[in-house]
A and B are shown apart, each in its own frame.
Chain A
């Protein structure tokens, strides 16, 4: 189908975008990569009066590493993350996850910040930022606001961003030399929306893992952090018994929402499968 009529403006600063959000209110929508927005418009699920294209704001397209903090601007595309050596070296979880995002043609346009702000339950990046203990940075009329990833995802397609704010940047602490990461996702076909996925991190201390984070996606309205399974694994030798106990704890704490692909029981089972794989991967990474 064809999109309904709207006006369009390409701005060159965040301030200009915020000003338009203020004057036009609900009539205006921010256009980032457009890979979700355009599909919604083509299907007439949305009819904004004005699209505010923020792709020309260079300040939002930067990847910077300073003092143990990696900052990835909101308008960095999935492809740019895929190609980034800095990210491969300092935040390899993102490099592992990115090839699961749709397909190349979509990754060339879709953005890191767009995906984080849209909060699709099956998206990879929201789970990754929680696994990496990242901080999301919003800019609004009052200035910058820092929001921990763990507090960012509130409900289906609902984040802690205020309607007059734009996500501009994400800070990821990358100076922990003991950190190991793992990522896996199950989808029917390559590039399909995830049926179940996991983004995991931990600190490796010899044979043991400390402070593991097991963050599942595509199982609930928001990313699901399996805190009970994490507690089972923290600072223990990862024997078969411990891993079995972690999977049992996960099965008890996770109430997956069924979808078009799978029942709740299937998702619970698949989450357990991914947890086993992730723990093995974390324990064997150097």
Chain B
């Protein structure tokens, strides 16, 4: 008999009630149960960063968190964050700087990028590189991604000044 647990999670602002198997990790829950395909799975053991989502306001590896652990919590994915300023700015910059090709790493990369823009608005290029060292990209060679993030940081610094 398959064990199931009832969980309540707020995903991109919407409160959901679902039944999940305890073994289902957060990204499989989001993709299969909630239908949000934006979060991707690469390595499924915490190394590649494609699964990066936000849980209770913090970026996490969605493949290393169980859906049951999100019970009572809030989850933000790339779909939800698109309405907010930081991600919209990053998406525009990624397009402008050709910071994606196949797009597989991109949602996770955007989550990591948003985290650095929000928490370290004065980050320099080296700090941006360190921050996104958590995310693999096999297409771009990374420089365009760093350029895109730095352009958003610069633009925001100018707006504040």
Binding site for B on A (CB under 8 A): 1-8, 10, 34-35, 38-39, 41-43, 51, 53, 55, 79, 102-106, 108-109, 189-191
Q: Which residues of A contact B60 (CB under 8 A)?
A: 105, 108-109
Closest approach, in angstroms, between the C-beta of A20 and any C-beta of chain B? 14
Is there a chain A Cβ closer than 8 Å to B21's Cβ?
Answer: yes
Closest approach, in angstroms, between the C-beta of A149 and any C-beta of chain B? 27
What residue of chain B has the Cβ atom nearest to residue A103's Cβ?
B134
What residue of chain B has the Cβ atom nearest to residue A191's Cβ?
B133
What residue of chain B has the Cβ atom nearest to residue A8's Cβ?
B22
With beta carbons under 8 angstroms apart, the residue of B2, B49, B52, B69 that contacts A53 is B69
B64 x A3 contact (CB < 8 A): no
User: With A51-B22, A109-B61 known to touch, is A104 a contact of B131 (CB < 8 Å)?
Assistant: yes
Is there a chain A Cβ closer than 8 Å to B123's Cβ?
Answer: no
A5 x B2 contact (CB < 8 A): yes
Q: Which residues of A contact B23 (CB under 8 A)?
A: 2-6, 41
Closest approach, in angstroms, between the C-beta of A132 and any C-beta of chain B? 26
Closest approach, in angstroms, between the C-beta of A135 and any C-beta of chain B? 30
What residue of chain B has the Cβ atom nearest to residue A41's Cβ?
B23
Interface of A is mostly: loop
Q: Which of B92-117 contact A (CB under 8 A)?
A: 112, 115
With beta carbons under 8 angstroms apart, the residue of B2, B59, B68 that contacts A105 is B59
Closest approach, in angstroms, between the C-beta of B115 and any C-beta of chain A? 6
How far, in whole Å, are A129 and B97 apart by their CA atoms in the complex?
45
Q: Which residues of A contact B61 (CB under 8 A)?
A: 35, 105-106, 109
How far, in whole Å, are A8 and B129 apart by their CA atoms in the complex?
37
User: With A39-B45, A42-B45 known to touch, is A108 a contact of B58 (CB < 8 Å)?
Assistant: yes
B66 x A38 contact (CB < 8 A): yes
Q: Which residues of B contact A51 (CB under 8 A)?
A: 22, 66
How far, in whole Å, are A190 and B129 apart by their CA atoms in the complex?
9
What residue of chain B has the Cβ atom nearest to residue A45's Cβ?
B45
How far, in whole Å, are A108 and B49 apart by their CA atoms in the complex?
14
A43 x B45 contact (CB < 8 A): yes
B59 x A108 contact (CB < 8 A): yes
How far, in whole Å, are A8 and B67 apart by their CA atoms in the complex?
11
Closest approach, in angstroms, between the C-beta of B133 and any C-beta of chain A? 4
Closest approach, in angstroms, between the C-beta of A45 and any C-beta of chain B? 10
User: With A8-B5, A39-B45 known to touch, is A105 a contact of B134 (CB < 8 Å)?
Assistant: yes
A7 x B22 contact (CB < 8 A): yes
How far, in whole Å, are A35 and B63 apart by their CA atoms in the complex?
9
Is there a chain A Cβ closer than 8 Å to B44's Cβ?
Answer: yes
Is there a chain A Cβ closer than 8 Å to B130's Cβ?
Answer: yes
Residue interface mask B116-133, A partner, CB < 8 A = 1: 000000000000011101
